[in-house]
Structure 1
Amino acid sequence: MPINKVVRTALKALSYAEIDVKKNYRLQRNLVNLAHRHYMKPFYRAWDHKIYLEDHIIPVRVFSPDGEGDYPVLLFFHGGGWVTGNIDSYNKVCTNMSRLTKHIVISVDYRLAPEHRFPAALEDCYEVARTLFTKEELFKIYNKRITIIGDSAGGNLAAALSLMARDKKEFKVDRQILIYPATYNDHSDKSPFPSIVENGKDYLLTSKKICDYMDLYMKSRDDINNPYFAPLISNDLSNQPKTLIITAEYDPLRDEGEEYGKKLRNAGNNVEIYRIKEGLHGFFALPPRFPQVKLCYDIINQFLCEVN
């Protein structure tokens, strides 16, 4: 079935030229940031904070809906293959997310690979979550209704964070939203998931690009056997948050995201899984007027209504 031409055209406008990620990751990073630049300052309330972790600072940006209120919180981890993206390139996404969900959105500017390889990004996300859950007065947010959410690599970080939070027992994550998450450790032709072969060459995110991103993210080959690197390989998925997983029909990551949901469910967790028809990887960055984005927010809001 051919994909909607309007969606493909829009996503290409948000995308960038096909380049060798491993050789030109800085160029790739700059192209992504330019493609997602927020040219006009929107009408939203936002302010920046800094979280300190050992020898570095983790910037975060807080987006608030219009008006006063005791809003629940979405702790957001952006996508970009652990190599690209930042809180600036996700301004539009977070603005829309805050407005459409009536949640405060806290976006995390975690360290990027290959300058900072696994588990640096996860450590940053964990520290922000730990601070928010245990020292919420630092954000001046006195509300325990916190949901973690991420797209693509950010979905991977959210899933890994939930596993780490369970293991460390410093705080408890009650709910998570994973949008076309990367959960597995093999995206070559040897992958057990049909979507890698079916959608790995003719769409915006290729299987080769995923492999390149993961090579830049990992510190050693041993990382591929670490469930914090690839949550789907975990032998223990018990005591995980109530989970919403949203995948895209024409996404190479589709099957592993859905399989992660099934594995979570088999481990006794409450899980909802939705596949967005005619969706491509990255559709979440499109304007809310697109049907796929509108449906995605309808699903998210229904989930948040049930858990808050």
Structure 2
Amino acid sequence: MPLDPYLAEKIHLLDGLPDWEAAQADPEAMSRLVEFFTDPDGWELGDVEAEDRTVPGPHGDIPVRIYRPSGRPRCALLWLHGGGFAGGNLEMPEAHVVSAELAKRAQALVVSVDYRLAADGTHYPVPVDDAHAAWLWLTETGWTGSGPAGLGGASAGAALALSTALRLRERAECLPDSLLLAYPFVHFPTPSLDAESARELGVLPPMMRFTPESIEQMVRNYVGRVSGLPVDAMPGAADLTGLPRTGIVLSEYDDLRPSGELLARQLEETGVPVETYFSPGMPHGHLNRGPSLGEVDRSLAFFAKLLAR
């Protein structure tokens, strides 16, 4: 279907802008970015409590933000934001808004992880080590309830969640009861879009696209190379048997969508229960918008239902 009407009306604001990093250094470009990312209605934390703390990890303390619903939590979730392995933080909507919304909707204790980014010489497996350590803290210390505990993330964070689940399986440690993966980026090379989808994505400005060159650069920055990749660095190449039931949200206007679609087929082929939600008209990273956009609301509802099941 066409690009979401609300976004289509604003897409002109990104015309001619440089890449994300350069745009954020230009006041006029930054003003256009802010206007583009302004949603139809505002968003508030509501009656969810948020607490910042650190948990221990092999590379030092790991900052996390813990979200507690107003009532007694019935389940738990460890959540990992996206950002191409090199960006993102606890303040971005894909971390803060998603965590708070899932805490409310699923009556969940949600722990959002500020894992170490692939920058300044940091590479794989450090981000996975942080995610793994945060999961062990959650399941051994942070979650004292009797309900299910899920593990999830968005884009690169979905890759880290899947890598962590594979490590837990290999080490016979506590597996999550569910995996929640938003527009996962888990394969390299990344499968290509079909011709019709590729034509549809032509409406997006260059800064919202993933080219083969930019994908290769993300992987090289994360792992340090693009050859001989460890199977749990880009975990779509790993043996996926024995993983828990998985929910995958796919964005229609997304060069990386074929990675999520292939992952769903791989999981199904290996006997892992998998459900997908296809978010029509939405670009990659649409959980960085608020739930006043209908497709963001429906994506969050899909995850909340799976988490609390």
> What are the superposed Cα offsets for residues 49-69 of structure 1, whole Å, 9 maximum, x if unpaired?
212223411111101112x31
CA distance in 1, matches of 2:24, 2:170: 35
- Deviation readout 1:219-277 (Å, 9 max, x if unpaired): 23345x3221212212x211011101110111111111011011111101111122111
Runs (5+) with no aligned partner, structure 2? none
Q: Deviations over 1:27-58 (max 9, x none)?
A: 69xx7xx9689x99844311122122234111
**Separation in structure 2 between the aligned mates of residue 41 and residue 297 of structure 1, nearest angstrom:** 16
Unpaired segments of 5 or more residues in structure 1? Answer: none
Structure 1 residues 81 and 106 mapped into 2: Cα distance closer, same or farther (>3 Å)? same
Cα shift at 1:70: 3.4
CA contact (8 A) 1:193 1:256 kept: no
1:38-77 equivalence runs, <5 A: 42-43=45-46, 44-66=48-70, 68-77=71-80
**Partner AA of 2:235 in structure 1:** P
User: Given that residues 77 and 109 in structure 2 are in contact (C-alpha distance below 8 angstroms), is that contact kept between their aligned partners in structure 1?
Assistant: yes
Distance across 2 between alignment mates of 1:162 and 1:10: 38
Instruction: Give, in whole Å, the separation in 1 of the partners of 2:11 and 2:298.
Output: 17
Higher relative contact order (CA 8 A, sep 6+): 2
Normalising by structure 2, we get a TM-score of 0.82
Please state if 1:121 is matched with 2:127. yes
Corresponding position of 1:87:
90
Please tell me the residue identity of whatever aligns with 2:19.
I
Q: CA deviation at 1:198?
A: 4.9
Deviates more, 1:42-51 or 1:99-108: 42-51
Q: Which structure 2 residues correspond to residues 1-308 of structure 1 after superposition, within 5 A?
A: 1-8=1-8, 17-19=17-19, 42-43=45-46, 44-66=48-70, 68-89=71-92, 90-115=95-120, 116-133=122-139, 135-136=140-141, 139=142, 141-187=144-190, 191-194=191-194, 197-198=198-199, 202-203=203-204, 205-208=208-211, 209-222=214-227, 225-234=229-238, 236-305=239-308, 307=309
Alpha-carbon distance between aligned partners in 2 of 1:267 and 1:131, rounded to the nearest angstrom: 29
8 Å Cα contact 1:101-1:297 kept in structure 2: no
1: distance between equivalents of 2:217 and 2:20?
A: 8
What TM-score do you get using the length of structure 1 for normalisation? 0.82
Q: Look up the equivalent residue of 2:7 and give its one-letter code.
A: V
Question: Can you list the C-alpha shifts for 1:50-94, whole angstroms capped at 9, x where unaligned?
Answer: 12223411111101112x313311110001111111112232332
Which amino acid in structure 2 is aligned with residue 286 of structure 1?
R
Contact 1:199 1:251 in 2 (8 A): no
Which amino acid is 1:104 matched to? L
RMSD: 3.2
Identity of aligned residues (%): 24
SS for the counterpart of 1:257 is: helix
| Equivalent position amino acid for 1:231 in 2 | P
Task: State how many pairs are aligned.
Answer: 290
